[in-house]
Every structure is written in C-alpha cells, then in structure tokens.
C-alpha cells in the first residue's frame, strides 16, 4: 500500500471535529507538504538543468498523468505561452482518457496500458517525458514512459511514494533517467491525493517550469520580459515592464511595444539602445536572448 493510501492517525476523529479544527488540521498537514518539497530541491534542480539543455537542442517537455496529476500538468503547461512567450507545443500534457478527462473522471483510463503506450506517439528522442503520479504506480503513466524511453526520450517521474528505479510494469523493468520523490505521508482523507500530494505536485511543477524559463533567459530582474500581451491586463503589464527597465513614459512604452510587434523584450532593447526592431532582434540573437548582456 502506498503512503497516500494509508489512514492518517491525526484524522481518525475528523468527522466529529468543528469546522475550525478540520481546517486547522488541513493547514498543519499542508505545512508538511512544503517541507517535503524543500527536501526534493536537489532532484528538481537536476531536472531543470537537464530540461534547459533539451529545450536548447530543440526538444519539448511532455507531462504525463491521470486524474488530478494530469490536470495539474495541464494547468502548468497551459500557463507557459502567455507567461513566457514560448510556443504552445513546447510544454504539452498527455492525460489518461484524453481531453474529456480534464473535466470528469474516465473510468479505467488510468489502468489502460495500451492507451498509455499509444499516447507516446508524439514524443521524440530529443524530448523529455515527465510522469506525474502520486502512487508512482499508475499503469497509463508508466506505460507511456516505457514507450517514450524506448523511443530515446529522457524520462523522469514525480511521485509522493517511496519507490525506486527501475519500476516494474507487468514484469517489465522501466529504468528512469530521474526520480523526484516528495514524501508527504498519508492524507487526512485516505487516498485523496488532491490534498497534500496535489499541493506538492503543483509546487514542484511551478518550481520546475519557472526555473527552467529563468535559466533560458525568459526573466530579467524578476520581470516576465517575454509575456504575451494578449489582453488589456497583459498589455498594461508589458508596458510597465518596459517603463521599469528603461525609465521611459507610458506613452513611449506603448509606442515601442507596438513597434516591436508586441514583444516586450525587443521593445526594451529598442528603447534602451535606440535601435530598430531588426537591430534589436539581431542583438538578442547574438546574446542568446540575454537582456543582461545587452543592457
């Protein structure tokens, strides 16, 4: 039995407690989740460094999960293009049961080994596949990783259980390239991994994807310089970024943003260096997209 399936002795009387007591217990258990993530930082750092190299070499990131784990992968991947201006296919998610499983449970989907293998069809040898499963045993996820590994992709697993690689799937050993274990212990509702396990998974994915983008130069002085200004709020944010970095007025920021084809990083170089869009693009390319090197 995995850690997340065990009963938590702290919650044996939870159905008799007051609302305040229930919420306080949940908060105490969530604190355990934070500490568990801290202990996993060395492994998360290895995953970030490997992923940076893969993306620089033209590879993509695939999250693979079922149920809550798959939905958390979708949440993280879907935020990457607007926040960091990356192509929508750079971070992708494979979820057991397909798109319909985003909103509702698909019975038996997480146990479908054949579907898991078939789902790896888009994963190539230059990509990285990251399985997400609290138990570390979900057949759909493991079979997808098995097929991705066979195709030459790098394969990692994020889990909340004490497991080791190779992992056995139907007597077949799967040797992973990396394993991130966030040991949170039993949930206050046994088996409900949308609680501590879900919280830790969200934290790890946030840390992984954000740190990866930072190392790829998508952040300058804590500012998302590649934000996609696709609505009024994000247009305002992009203008404030240009203003803060260059010291220009709102009017100038708006003008340079328009001249740069709505690319804040390019607009910053244009304003700071007094160059054309084409020259700013050339300077960024030569610097590896490093604003620190240019400014």
pLDDT digit string (tens) for 185-197? 888 898 888 888 9
Q: How confident is the model at residue 88 (pLDDT cuts 50, 70, 90)?
A: very high
The pLDDT value recorded for residue 126 is 97
Largest CA distance in the chain: 69
Choosing from 110, 146, 147, 187, the catalytic residue is: 110
- Pick the closest to residue 238 from 249, 223, 248 (CA basis): 223
The pLDDT value recorded for residue 1 is 62
**Rounded distance, CA 91 to CA 63, Å?**
8
Phi, psi of 188 (to 5 degrees): -70, -20
- Pick the closest to residue 227 from 80, 88, 93, 92 (CA basis): 80
- Is the pLDDT score of 103 beyond 90? no
- Is the pLDDT score of 174 beyond 90? no
* DSSP sequence for the chain: --GGGSPPGGGTTGGGS-HHHHHHHHHHHHHHHHHHHHHTHHHHHHHHHHHHHHHHTT--EEEEESTHHHHHHHHHHHHHHHHH---TTSEEEEETT-GGGGTS--TTGGG-HHHHHHHGGG--TTSEEEEE-SSS--HHHHHHHHHHHHTT-EEEEEESS---SSEEETTEEE--SEEEE------SSTT-TTTHHHHHHHHHHHHHHHHHHHHTT--BTTB-TT----SHHHHHHHHHHHHHHH---HHHHHHHHHHTTS-HHHHHHHHHHT--HHHHHHHHHHTTS-HHHH-
Choosing from 5, 12, 28, 79, the catalytic residue is: 79
The pLDDT value recorded for residue 163 is 86
pLDDT digit string (tens) for 150-161? 999 999 999 999
The model's pTM: 0.90
The pLDDT value recorded for residue 290 is 87
- CB–CB of 188/29 below 8 Å? yes
* Domain spanning 232-294: CATH 3.40.50.1100: no
| 27-204-75-73 Cα dihedral, nearest 10 degrees | -120
pLDDT digit string (tens) for 62-79? 999 999 999 999 999 999
pLDDT more than 90, % of the chain: 76
Q: Specify the range with the lowest mean pLDDT, choosing from 6-20, 74-88, 133-147, 242-256.
A: 6-20
The pLDDT value recorded for residue 108 is 82
Q: How confident is the model at residue 123 (pLDDT cuts 50, 70, 90)?
A: very high
In the residue annotation, 79 being an active-site residue is answered as yes
Q: What are the sequence ranges of the domains in the chain? A: 3-215, 232-294
Task: Assign a CATH topology to domain 3-215.
Answer: Rossmann fold (3.40.50)
């Amino acid at each position: 039995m995995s850690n997340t399936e065990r009963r938590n002795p702290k919650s044996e009387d939870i159905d008799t407690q007051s609302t305040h007591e229930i919420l306080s217990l949940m908060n105490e258990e969530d604190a355990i989740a934070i500490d568990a993530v801290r202990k996993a930082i060395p492994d998360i750092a290895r995953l970030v460094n490997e992923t940076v190299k893969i993306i620089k070499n033209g590879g993509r990131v695939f999250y693979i999960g079922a149920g809550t784990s798959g939905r958390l992968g979708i949440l993280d991947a879907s935020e990457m293009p607007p926040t960091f201006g990356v192509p929508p296919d750079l971070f992708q998610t494979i979820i057991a049961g397909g798109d319909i499983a985003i909103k509702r449970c698909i019975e038996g989907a997480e146990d479908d080994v054949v579907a898991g293998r078939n789902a790896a069809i888009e994963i190539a040898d230059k990509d990285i596949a990251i399985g997400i499963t609290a138990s570390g045993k979900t057949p759909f996820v493991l079979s997808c990783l098995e097929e991705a590994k066979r195709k030459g992709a790098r394969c990692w697993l994020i889990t909340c259980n004490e497991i080791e690689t190779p992992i056995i799937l139907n007597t077949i050993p799967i040797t992973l390239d990396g394993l991130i274990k966030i040991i949170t212990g039993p949930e206050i509702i046994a088996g409900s991994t949308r609680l501590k396990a879900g919280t830790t998974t969200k934290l790890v994915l946030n840390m992984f994807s954000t740190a990866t983008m930072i190392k790829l130069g998508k952040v300058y002085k804590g500012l998302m310089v590649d934000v996609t200004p696709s609505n009024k709020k994000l247009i305002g944010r992009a203008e404030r970024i240009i203003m803060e970095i260059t010291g220009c007025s709102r009017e100038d920021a708006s003008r340079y943003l328009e001249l740069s084809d709505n690319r804040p990083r390019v607009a910053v170089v244009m304003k700071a260096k007094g160059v054309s869009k084409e020259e700013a693009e050339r300077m960024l390319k030569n610097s590896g997209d490093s604003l620190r090197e240019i400014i």
